[in-house]
Structure 1
Amino acid sequence: LALMSADTKIAELLTELHQLIKQTQEERSRSEHNLLNIQKTHERMQTENKTSPYYRTKLRGLYTTAKADAEAECSILRHALDKIAEIKSLLEERRIAAKMAGVFSDSDPPRKTMRRGVLMTLLQQSQWILAEVVSYNPATNKYEVDDIDEEGKERHTLSRRRIIPLPQWKSNPETDPEALFSKDQLVLALYPQTTCFYRALIHAPPHRVSPAPHCFTVSVVKCCVSVLCI
Protein backbone atom coordinates (compact mmCIF):
# COMPACT_ATOMS: atom_id res chain seq x y z
CA LEU A 1 0.00 0.00 0.00
CA ALA A 2 2.84 2.37 0.81
CA LEU A 3 4.43 1.70 -2.58
CA MET A 4 1.13 2.25 -4.41
CA SER A 5 0.54 5.47 -2.48
CA ALA A 6 4.04 6.71 -3.34
CA ASP A 7 3.57 5.83 -7.01
CA THR A 8 0.26 7.73 -7.11
CA LYS A 9 1.80 10.78 -5.45
CA ILE A 10 4.80 10.69 -7.79
CA ALA A 11 2.48 10.56 -10.80
CA GLU A 12 0.56 13.58 -9.48
CA LEU A 13 3.77 15.52 -8.86
CA LEU A 14 5.07 14.70 -12.35
CA THR A 15 1.84 16.06 -13.83
CA GLU A 16 2.20 19.24 -11.78
CA LEU A 17 5.86 19.52 -12.82
CA HIS A 18 4.89 19.20 -16.47
CA GLN A 19 2.38 22.03 -16.06
CA LEU A 20 5.02 24.21 -14.39
CA ILE A 21 7.42 23.58 -17.27
CA LYS A 22 4.71 24.66 -19.71
CA GLN A 23 4.06 27.78 -17.63
CA THR A 24 7.78 28.59 -17.68
CA GLN A 25 7.86 28.34 -21.45
CA GLU A 26 4.72 30.48 -21.79
CA GLU A 27 6.16 33.10 -19.44
CA ARG A 28 9.43 33.15 -21.36
CA SER A 29 7.64 33.48 -24.71
CA ARG A 30 5.50 36.32 -23.35
CA SER A 31 8.54 38.27 -22.12
CA GLU A 32 10.46 37.92 -25.40
CA HIS A 33 8.45 40.75 -27.01
CA ASN A 34 9.46 43.15 -24.23
CA LEU A 35 13.14 42.14 -24.48
CA LEU A 36 13.01 42.70 -28.22
CA ASN A 37 11.62 46.21 -27.62
CA ILE A 38 14.53 46.95 -25.28
CA GLN A 39 17.01 45.84 -27.93
CA LYS A 40 15.33 47.92 -30.66
CA THR A 41 15.19 51.00 -28.42
CA HIS A 42 18.93 50.78 -27.76
CA GLU A 43 19.57 50.40 -31.50
CA ARG A 44 17.54 53.55 -32.24
CA MET A 45 19.45 55.46 -29.55
CA GLN A 46 22.76 54.40 -31.10
CA THR A 47 21.54 55.40 -34.57
CA GLU A 48 20.41 58.84 -33.39
CA ASN A 49 23.48 59.11 -31.14
CA LYS A 50 21.52 60.69 -28.30
CA THR A 51 19.58 59.80 -25.15
CA SER A 52 16.42 61.85 -25.03
CA PRO A 53 14.00 62.04 -22.06
CA TYR A 54 11.57 60.03 -24.19
CA TYR A 55 13.98 57.11 -24.54
CA ARG A 56 14.90 57.26 -20.85
CA THR A 57 11.24 57.03 -19.83
CA LYS A 58 10.56 54.28 -22.34
CA LEU A 59 13.56 52.21 -21.26
CA ARG A 60 12.68 52.65 -17.59
CA GLY A 61 9.23 51.19 -18.25
CA LEU A 62 10.60 48.37 -20.43
CA TYR A 63 13.22 47.37 -17.84
CA THR A 64 10.63 47.47 -15.04
CA THR A 65 8.45 45.09 -17.05
CA ALA A 66 11.45 42.85 -17.87
CA LYS A 67 12.37 42.65 -14.17
CA ALA A 68 8.80 41.67 -13.24
CA ASP A 69 8.76 39.03 -16.01
CA ALA A 70 12.08 37.57 -14.81
CA GLU A 71 10.83 37.41 -11.21
CA ALA A 72 7.64 35.66 -12.34
CA GLU A 73 9.64 33.08 -14.31
CA CYS A 74 12.00 32.64 -11.35
CA SER A 75 9.05 31.97 -9.05
CA ILE A 76 7.72 29.25 -11.37
CA LEU A 77 11.17 27.65 -11.63
CA ARG A 78 11.57 27.61 -7.83
CA HIS A 79 8.17 25.95 -7.55
CA ALA A 80 9.29 23.37 -10.13
CA LEU A 81 12.48 22.70 -8.15
CA ASP A 82 10.36 22.11 -5.03
CA LYS A 83 8.33 19.54 -6.97
CA ILE A 84 11.51 17.82 -8.14
CA ALA A 85 12.77 17.67 -4.54
CA GLU A 86 9.45 16.10 -3.46
CA ILE A 87 9.69 13.53 -6.24
CA LYS A 88 13.28 12.63 -5.29
CA SER A 89 12.24 12.25 -1.65
CA LEU A 90 9.32 9.96 -2.58
CA LEU A 91 11.55 7.88 -4.86
CA GLU A 92 13.94 7.35 -1.95
CA GLU A 93 11.03 6.43 0.34
CA ARG A 94 9.76 4.00 -2.29
CA ARG A 95 13.21 2.43 -2.58
CA ILE A 96 13.33 1.86 1.18
CA ALA A 97 9.74 0.56 1.23
CA ALA A 98 10.54 -1.79 -1.63
CA LYS A 99 13.47 -3.20 0.32
CA MET A 100 11.19 -3.85 3.26
CA ALA A 101 8.43 -5.41 1.14
CA GLY A 102 7.99 -9.06 1.93
CA VAL A 103 9.84 -8.93 5.25
CA PHE A 104 6.61 -9.83 7.06
CA SER A 105 3.64 -11.59 5.50
CA ASP A 106 0.03 -10.97 6.55
CA SER A 107 -0.07 -14.33 8.30
CA ASP A 108 3.12 -13.62 10.23
CA PRO A 109 3.02 -9.98 11.43
CA PRO A 110 5.88 -8.59 13.53
CA ARG A 111 5.52 -9.15 17.25
CA LYS A 112 5.20 -6.01 19.38
CA THR A 113 7.72 -7.43 21.86
CA MET A 114 10.39 -7.93 19.21
CA ARG A 115 13.59 -6.05 20.08
CA ARG A 116 15.04 -3.48 17.65
CA GLY A 117 18.21 -5.48 17.08
CA VAL A 118 16.25 -8.61 16.19
CA LEU A 119 14.06 -6.69 13.75
CA MET A 120 17.09 -5.32 11.94
CA THR A 121 18.58 -8.80 11.76
CA LEU A 122 15.40 -10.21 10.24
CA LEU A 123 15.30 -7.37 7.74
CA GLN A 124 18.82 -8.14 6.65
CA GLN A 125 18.30 -11.88 6.63
CA SER A 126 15.11 -11.98 4.54
CA GLN A 127 15.98 -9.33 1.96
CA TRP A 128 16.74 -10.23 -1.64
CA ILE A 129 19.43 -7.95 -3.04
CA LEU A 130 21.19 -7.37 -6.34
CA ALA A 131 24.86 -8.24 -5.98
CA GLU A 132 28.03 -8.85 -7.97
CA VAL A 133 30.30 -11.86 -7.52
CA VAL A 134 33.74 -10.91 -6.19
CA SER A 135 35.30 -14.34 -5.72
CA TYR A 136 34.57 -18.04 -5.29
CA ASN A 137 36.22 -20.38 -2.78
CA PRO A 138 36.09 -23.98 -4.10
CA ALA A 139 37.23 -25.35 -0.73
CA THR A 140 34.17 -24.00 1.09
CA ASN A 141 31.93 -23.82 -2.00
CA LYS A 142 31.02 -20.23 -1.08
CA TYR A 143 30.92 -16.94 -2.96
CA GLU A 144 31.94 -13.47 -1.86
CA VAL A 145 29.50 -10.90 -3.28
CA ASP A 146 29.12 -7.11 -3.07
CA ASP A 147 25.74 -5.41 -2.68
CA ILE A 148 25.74 -3.06 -5.70
CA ASP A 149 23.20 -0.77 -4.02
CA GLU A 150 25.50 0.06 -1.10
CA GLU A 151 27.98 2.95 -1.35
CA GLY A 152 30.45 1.12 0.87
CA LYS A 153 30.11 -2.07 -1.17
CA GLU A 154 28.85 -4.23 1.71
CA ARG A 155 30.31 -7.71 1.23
CA HIS A 156 28.61 -11.02 2.02
CA THR A 157 29.80 -14.62 1.99
CA LEU A 158 27.11 -16.98 0.70
CA SER A 159 26.71 -20.60 -0.27
CA ARG A 160 25.68 -21.50 -3.82
CA ARG A 161 22.14 -22.42 -2.79
CA ARG A 162 21.46 -18.83 -1.70
CA ILE A 163 22.40 -17.35 -5.08
CA ILE A 164 20.36 -17.11 -8.29
CA PRO A 165 22.47 -16.12 -11.32
CA LEU A 166 20.72 -13.64 -13.59
CA PRO A 167 20.50 -14.40 -17.32
CA GLN A 168 23.37 -13.15 -19.45
CA TRP A 169 21.18 -12.37 -22.46
CA LYS A 170 17.63 -11.21 -22.98
CA SER A 171 15.29 -13.81 -24.51
CA ASN A 172 13.61 -13.10 -27.84
CA PRO A 173 9.86 -13.89 -27.57
CA GLU A 174 9.67 -14.46 -31.33
CA THR A 175 12.55 -16.93 -31.63
CA ASP A 176 12.86 -18.40 -28.10
CA PRO A 177 9.38 -18.37 -26.50
CA GLU A 178 10.28 -21.42 -24.41
CA ALA A 179 12.82 -19.33 -22.49
CA LEU A 180 10.13 -16.98 -21.14
CA PHE A 181 8.18 -17.31 -17.91
CA SER A 182 4.62 -18.47 -18.49
CA LYS A 183 1.36 -16.89 -17.28
CA ASP A 184 0.66 -17.25 -13.52
CA GLN A 185 4.24 -18.37 -12.83
CA LEU A 186 5.72 -17.10 -9.54
CA VAL A 187 8.85 -14.99 -10.05
CA LEU A 188 11.08 -12.45 -8.34
CA ALA A 189 10.66 -9.11 -10.11
CA LEU A 190 12.42 -5.75 -9.80
CA TYR A 191 10.66 -2.58 -8.78
CA PRO A 192 11.14 0.03 -11.56
CA GLN A 193 14.29 2.14 -11.22
CA THR A 194 15.42 0.20 -8.13
CA THR A 195 17.52 -2.85 -7.28
CA CYS A 196 14.77 -4.20 -5.00
CA PHE A 197 13.06 -7.52 -5.71
CA TYR A 198 9.51 -8.59 -4.89
CA ARG A 199 7.47 -11.76 -5.38
CA ALA A 200 5.12 -11.51 -8.35
CA LEU A 201 2.91 -13.54 -10.68
CA ILE A 202 3.33 -13.29 -14.44
CA HIS A 203 0.19 -11.72 -15.92
CA ALA A 204 1.19 -12.03 -19.57
CA PRO A 205 4.53 -12.84 -21.24
CA PRO A 206 5.92 -10.42 -23.86
CA HIS A 207 5.15 -11.07 -27.52
CA ARG A 208 7.86 -8.94 -29.10
CA VAL A 209 11.33 -7.68 -28.31
CA SER A 210 11.48 -4.54 -26.19
CA PRO A 211 13.70 -1.79 -27.68
CA ALA A 212 15.24 -1.08 -24.27
CA PRO A 213 18.46 -2.98 -23.46
CA HIS A 214 17.95 -5.48 -20.64
CA CYS A 215 20.84 -7.89 -20.26
CA PHE A 216 23.13 -8.72 -17.38
CA THR A 217 26.74 -9.78 -17.09
CA VAL A 218 27.59 -13.25 -15.83
CA SER A 219 29.07 -11.84 -12.63
CA VAL A 220 25.85 -10.13 -11.55
CA VAL A 221 23.70 -12.32 -9.36
CA LYS A 222 20.57 -12.10 -7.28
CA CYS A 223 21.28 -13.39 -3.82
CA CYS A 224 19.48 -13.83 -0.54
CA VAL A 225 21.32 -12.79 2.62
CA SER A 226 19.45 -15.27 4.79
CA VAL A 227 19.11 -18.81 6.02
CA LEU A 228 16.33 -19.39 3.49
CA CYS A 229 17.04 -21.89 0.75
CA ILE A 230 16.03 -21.47 -2.87
Structure 2
Amino acid sequence: MPFTADAAAAQQVQERLKSLQQLVHEIEKKRHQSEQGIISLQRYAQDEKPGQSSQKLKSLYKTAILQGEQEEEVIRKALQKITEIRNIKNERRIQSRIASNKESIRKGIWMKMLSSSAQTLPLYVGKIGEKPPPLCGAVPADPNYIARVGDMVAALVKDSGDGENWILAEVVSYNNTTSKYEIDDILKEQNQKGRHTLSRRRVIPLPLMRANPETDPQALFPQGTLVMALFPQTTCFYKALVNKPPATLIDEYELLFEDPTYQEGYSPPHYVVQRYVIAYKQKNKQNTAT
Protein backbone atom coordinates (compact mmCIF):
# COMPACT_ATOMS: atom_id res chain seq x y z
CA MET A 1 0.00 0.00 0.00
CA PRO A 2 2.72 2.57 0.88
CA PHE A 3 4.46 1.79 -2.42
CA THR A 4 1.20 2.30 -4.34
CA ALA A 5 0.55 5.62 -2.63
CA ASP A 6 4.12 6.78 -3.24
CA ALA A 7 3.93 5.74 -6.88
CA ALA A 8 0.61 7.53 -7.37
CA ALA A 9 1.95 10.72 -5.78
CA ALA A 10 5.10 10.53 -7.91
CA GLN A 11 3.01 10.12 -11.05
CA GLN A 12 0.87 13.14 -10.13
CA VAL A 13 3.99 15.22 -9.59
CA GLN A 14 5.48 14.11 -12.91
CA GLU A 15 2.26 14.99 -14.76
CA ARG A 16 2.32 18.49 -13.32
CA LEU A 17 6.02 18.90 -14.00
CA LYS A 18 5.36 18.02 -17.64
CA SER A 19 2.55 20.60 -17.80
CA LEU A 20 4.81 23.12 -16.06
CA GLN A 21 7.53 22.60 -18.65
CA GLN A 22 5.04 23.27 -21.45
CA LEU A 23 3.80 26.40 -19.66
CA VAL A 24 7.36 27.71 -19.27
CA HIS A 25 7.87 27.46 -23.04
CA GLU A 26 4.51 29.16 -23.59
CA ILE A 27 5.52 31.94 -21.20
CA GLU A 28 8.63 32.61 -23.29
CA LYS A 29 6.52 32.88 -26.44
CA LYS A 30 4.03 35.22 -24.79
CA ARG A 31 6.84 37.32 -23.34
CA HIS A 32 8.42 37.69 -26.77
CA GLN A 33 5.08 38.77 -28.22
CA SER A 34 4.62 41.31 -25.42
CA GLU A 35 8.11 42.73 -25.96
CA GLN A 36 7.51 43.10 -29.69
CA GLY A 37 4.18 44.80 -29.04
CA ILE A 38 5.81 47.31 -26.69
CA ILE A 39 8.61 47.98 -29.17
CA SER A 40 6.07 48.66 -31.94
CA LEU A 41 4.16 50.98 -29.64
CA GLN A 42 7.28 52.91 -28.66
CA ARG A 43 8.45 53.30 -32.25
CA TYR A 44 5.08 54.56 -33.44
CA ALA A 45 4.80 57.00 -30.54
CA GLN A 46 8.26 58.41 -31.32
CA ASP A 47 7.52 58.80 -35.04
CA GLU A 48 4.02 60.22 -34.60
CA LYS A 49 3.59 63.58 -36.35
CA PRO A 50 1.47 66.50 -35.06
CA GLY A 51 -2.09 66.20 -36.31
CA GLN A 52 -1.65 62.56 -37.21
CA SER A 53 -4.58 60.26 -36.37
CA SER A 54 -4.23 58.59 -32.99
CA GLN A 55 -6.37 55.61 -33.99
CA LYS A 56 -3.31 53.54 -34.86
CA LEU A 57 -1.69 54.43 -31.52
CA LYS A 58 -4.83 53.39 -29.63
CA SER A 59 -4.88 50.09 -31.50
CA LEU A 60 -1.24 49.43 -30.57
CA TYR A 61 -1.99 50.23 -26.93
CA LYS A 62 -4.89 47.76 -26.88
CA THR A 63 -2.74 45.07 -28.50
CA ALA A 64 0.09 45.59 -25.98
CA ILE A 65 -2.34 45.41 -23.05
CA LEU A 66 -3.95 42.23 -24.41
CA GLN A 67 -0.56 40.60 -24.93
CA GLY A 68 0.48 41.51 -21.38
CA GLU A 69 -2.73 40.02 -19.96
CA GLN A 70 -2.20 36.81 -21.94
CA GLU A 71 1.35 36.52 -20.59
CA GLU A 72 0.07 37.09 -17.05
CA GLU A 73 -2.56 34.37 -17.46
CA VAL A 74 0.03 31.77 -18.51
CA ILE A 75 2.36 32.75 -15.65
CA ARG A 76 -0.48 32.30 -13.17
CA LYS A 77 -1.20 28.84 -14.60
CA ALA A 78 2.46 27.93 -14.08
CA LEU A 79 2.37 29.18 -10.49
CA GLN A 80 -0.75 27.10 -9.88
CA LYS A 81 1.06 23.97 -11.08
CA ILE A 82 3.90 24.69 -8.67
CA THR A 83 1.38 25.07 -5.83
CA GLU A 84 -0.25 21.77 -6.78
CA ILE A 85 3.13 20.01 -6.68
CA ARG A 86 3.83 21.41 -3.21
CA ASN A 87 0.39 20.29 -2.02
CA ILE A 88 0.82 16.76 -3.37
CA LYS A 89 4.18 16.38 -1.64
CA ASN A 90 2.81 17.77 1.61
CA GLU A 91 -0.21 15.46 1.48
CA ARG A 92 2.07 12.46 0.94
CA ARG A 93 4.19 13.54 3.90
CA ILE A 94 1.07 13.72 6.09
CA GLN A 95 -0.06 10.27 4.96
CA SER A 96 3.37 8.84 5.78
CA ARG A 97 3.22 10.37 9.24
CA ILE A 98 -0.23 8.89 9.87
CA ALA A 99 1.09 5.52 8.76
CA SER A 100 4.00 5.96 11.21
CA ASN A 101 6.54 5.86 8.42
CA LYS A 102 8.19 9.12 9.44
CA GLU A 103 11.94 8.70 9.62
CA SER A 104 13.94 10.01 12.54
CA ILE A 105 15.40 13.37 11.58
CA ARG A 106 18.08 15.18 13.54
CA LYS A 107 17.29 18.65 14.87
CA GLY A 108 19.90 20.34 12.68
CA ILE A 109 18.42 18.86 9.51
CA TRP A 110 14.91 19.80 10.68
CA MET A 111 15.98 23.42 11.13
CA LYS A 112 17.39 23.55 7.58
CA MET A 113 14.19 22.02 6.20
CA LEU A 114 12.02 24.53 8.08
CA SER A 115 14.13 27.43 6.81
CA SER A 116 14.01 26.18 3.21
CA SER A 117 10.24 25.65 3.41
CA ALA A 118 9.72 29.21 4.66
CA GLN A 119 11.99 30.77 2.05
CA THR A 120 10.14 29.02 -0.77
CA LEU A 121 6.67 29.86 0.55
CA PRO A 122 4.53 30.98 -2.42
CA LEU A 123 4.71 34.71 -3.16
CA TYR A 124 1.35 36.48 -3.43
CA VAL A 125 0.98 38.14 -6.82
CA GLY A 126 -2.33 39.98 -6.96
CA LYS A 127 -4.02 41.76 -9.80
CA ILE A 128 -4.25 45.55 -9.90
CA GLY A 129 -6.53 46.77 -7.11
CA GLU A 130 -6.65 43.43 -5.30
CA LYS A 131 -5.88 43.32 -1.59
CA PRO A 132 -3.66 40.61 -0.11
CA PRO A 133 -5.82 37.78 1.29
CA PRO A 134 -5.79 36.42 4.85
CA LEU A 135 -2.60 34.59 5.85
CA CYS A 136 -0.54 36.54 3.36
CA GLY A 137 2.41 38.05 5.22
CA ALA A 138 1.11 39.95 8.26
CA VAL A 139 -2.57 39.66 7.26
CA PRO A 140 -4.22 37.49 9.95
CA ALA A 141 -6.54 34.56 9.32
CA ASP A 142 -10.28 35.12 9.22
CA PRO A 143 -11.92 34.74 12.67
CA ASN A 144 -13.60 31.46 11.70
CA TYR A 145 -10.61 30.01 9.87
CA ILE A 146 -9.61 26.44 10.75
CA ALA A 147 -6.04 25.43 9.97
CA ARG A 148 -5.77 22.36 7.77
CA VAL A 149 -4.12 19.07 8.67
CA GLY A 150 -0.40 19.44 8.08
CA ASP A 151 -0.38 23.24 8.39
CA MET A 152 2.28 24.92 10.51
CA VAL A 153 1.01 26.92 13.49
CA ALA A 154 2.23 28.68 16.60
CA ALA A 155 0.84 26.84 19.63
CA LEU A 156 0.75 27.92 23.26
CA VAL A 157 1.71 24.88 25.36
CA LYS A 158 2.79 24.30 28.94
CA ASP A 159 6.51 23.84 29.50
CA SER A 160 8.26 21.56 31.98
CA GLY A 161 7.72 24.12 34.76
CA ASP A 162 4.69 26.27 35.52
CA GLY A 163 5.04 28.47 32.44
CA GLU A 164 3.83 28.38 28.87
CA ASN A 165 5.62 28.77 25.56
CA TRP A 166 4.59 29.50 22.00
CA ILE A 167 6.11 26.69 19.92
CA LEU A 168 6.22 25.79 16.25
CA ALA A 169 3.80 22.92 15.67
CA GLU A 170 1.90 21.01 13.01
CA VAL A 171 -1.86 20.41 12.91
CA VAL A 172 -2.83 16.75 13.31
CA SER A 173 -6.60 17.18 13.48
CA TYR A 174 -9.44 19.50 14.49
CA ASN A 175 -12.54 18.46 16.42
CA ASN A 176 -15.57 20.52 15.40
CA THR A 177 -17.55 19.36 18.43
CA THR A 178 -15.01 20.48 21.04
CA SER A 179 -13.46 23.23 18.90
CA LYS A 180 -10.03 21.90 19.77
CA TYR A 181 -6.92 21.09 17.78
CA GLU A 182 -4.57 18.19 18.12
CA ILE A 183 -1.11 19.45 17.26
CA ASP A 184 2.37 17.94 17.20
CA ASP A 185 5.45 19.75 18.42
CA ILE A 186 7.61 20.09 15.29
CA LEU A 187 10.45 18.51 17.28
CA LYS A 188 8.22 15.74 18.63
CA GLU A 189 11.03 13.17 18.58
CA GLN A 190 13.28 15.39 20.71
CA ASN A 191 10.60 16.31 23.27
CA GLN A 192 8.89 14.06 25.79
CA LYS A 193 5.39 15.34 25.13
CA GLY A 194 5.05 15.88 21.42
CA ARG A 195 1.26 15.93 21.01
CA HIS A 196 -1.07 18.50 22.56
CA THR A 197 -4.83 19.09 22.57
CA LEU A 198 -5.47 22.83 22.49
CA SER A 199 -8.37 25.27 22.14
CA ARG A 200 -8.45 27.54 19.09
CA ARG A 201 -7.31 30.57 21.09
CA ARG A 202 -4.03 28.76 21.79
CA VAL A 203 -3.31 28.14 18.10
CA ILE A 204 -2.25 30.79 15.58
CA PRO A 205 -2.06 29.76 11.90
CA LEU A 206 1.16 30.80 10.19
CA PRO A 207 1.21 32.66 6.83
CA LEU A 208 0.52 30.56 3.76
CA MET A 209 1.98 33.14 1.35
CA ARG A 210 4.72 35.74 1.39
CA ALA A 211 3.88 39.39 0.76
CA ASN A 212 5.86 41.42 -1.76
CA PRO A 213 7.10 44.62 -0.06
CA GLU A 214 7.29 46.40 -3.42
CA THR A 215 3.63 45.86 -4.31
CA ASP A 216 1.88 45.07 -1.01
CA PRO A 217 3.77 46.82 1.81
CA GLN A 218 0.53 47.03 3.81
CA ALA A 219 0.70 43.25 4.23
CA LEU A 220 3.88 43.52 6.33
CA PHE A 221 4.47 44.56 9.93
CA PRO A 222 5.86 48.14 9.90
CA GLN A 223 8.88 49.31 11.81
CA GLY A 224 8.25 49.55 15.56
CA THR A 225 5.57 46.84 15.64
CA LEU A 226 5.61 44.37 18.53
CA VAL A 227 5.48 40.83 17.15
CA MET A 228 6.17 37.21 18.03
CA ALA A 229 8.86 35.50 16.02
CA LEU A 230 10.76 32.24 15.85
CA PHE A 231 14.13 32.85 17.44
CA PRO A 232 16.89 31.65 15.06
CA GLN A 233 17.89 27.99 15.48
CA THR A 234 15.00 27.34 17.89
CA THR A 235 11.37 26.28 17.52
CA CYS A 236 9.95 28.77 20.02
CA PHE A 237 8.30 32.12 19.38
CA TYR A 238 9.42 35.10 21.47
CA LYS A 239 8.44 38.73 21.74
CA ALA A 240 10.35 41.02 19.37
CA LEU A 241 10.31 44.50 17.89
CA VAL A 242 10.41 45.09 14.14
CA ASN A 243 13.57 47.08 13.47
CA LYS A 244 13.26 46.89 9.68
CA PRO A 245 10.56 45.19 7.61
CA PRO A 246 11.58 43.40 4.39
CA ALA A 247 12.42 45.81 1.56
CA THR A 248 12.35 43.28 -1.30
CA LEU A 249 10.62 39.95 -1.86
CA ILE A 250 13.75 38.01 -0.80
CA ASP A 251 14.48 40.05 2.35
CA GLU A 252 13.76 38.95 5.90
CA TYR A 253 12.54 40.94 8.88
CA GLU A 254 15.23 42.56 11.01
CA LEU A 255 14.05 42.00 14.58
CA LEU A 256 15.16 42.99 18.06
CA PHE A 257 14.17 40.25 20.51
CA GLU A 258 13.23 41.21 24.03
CA ASP A 259 16.18 40.32 26.27
CA PRO A 260 16.66 41.78 29.77
CA THR A 261 20.35 40.82 29.77
CA TYR A 262 21.00 43.79 27.46
CA GLN A 263 20.91 47.33 28.79
CA GLU A 264 18.42 48.44 26.15
CA GLY A 265 16.17 45.47 26.94
CA TYR A 266 16.52 44.07 23.42
CA SER A 267 19.00 41.81 21.68
CA PRO A 268 21.16 42.81 18.70
CA PRO A 269 19.35 42.43 15.32
CA HIS A 270 18.31 38.97 14.17
CA TYR A 271 16.82 38.09 10.79
CA VAL A 272 13.63 36.04 10.49
CA VAL A 273 11.64 35.06 7.39
CA GLN A 274 8.03 36.21 6.94
CA ARG A 275 6.48 32.83 7.71
CA TYR A 276 7.76 32.85 11.27
CA VAL A 277 6.76 36.41 12.21
CA ILE A 278 3.22 36.84 13.57
CA ALA A 279 1.20 39.38 15.55
CA TYR A 280 2.05 39.58 19.22
CA LYS A 281 -0.53 37.94 21.47
CA GLN A 282 -0.56 38.72 25.19
CA LYS A 283 -0.75 35.69 27.45
CA ASN A 284 -2.58 35.44 30.75
CA LYS A 285 0.51 34.18 32.51
CA GLN A 286 3.79 36.07 32.46
CA ASN A 287 6.83 33.90 32.02
CA THR A 288 10.19 33.74 30.33
CA ALA A 289 8.70 33.17 26.88
CA THR A 290 6.97 36.55 26.73
Coarse TM-score class (shorter-chain normalised): 0.3 to 0.5
Larger radius of gyration: 1
Relative to the length of structure 1, the TM-score reads 0.44
Q: Which structure is higher in RCO with an 8 Å CA cutoff and minimum separation 6?
A: 1
Q: Which has the higher helix share?
A: 1
Q: TM-score, normalised by structure 2?
A: 0.36
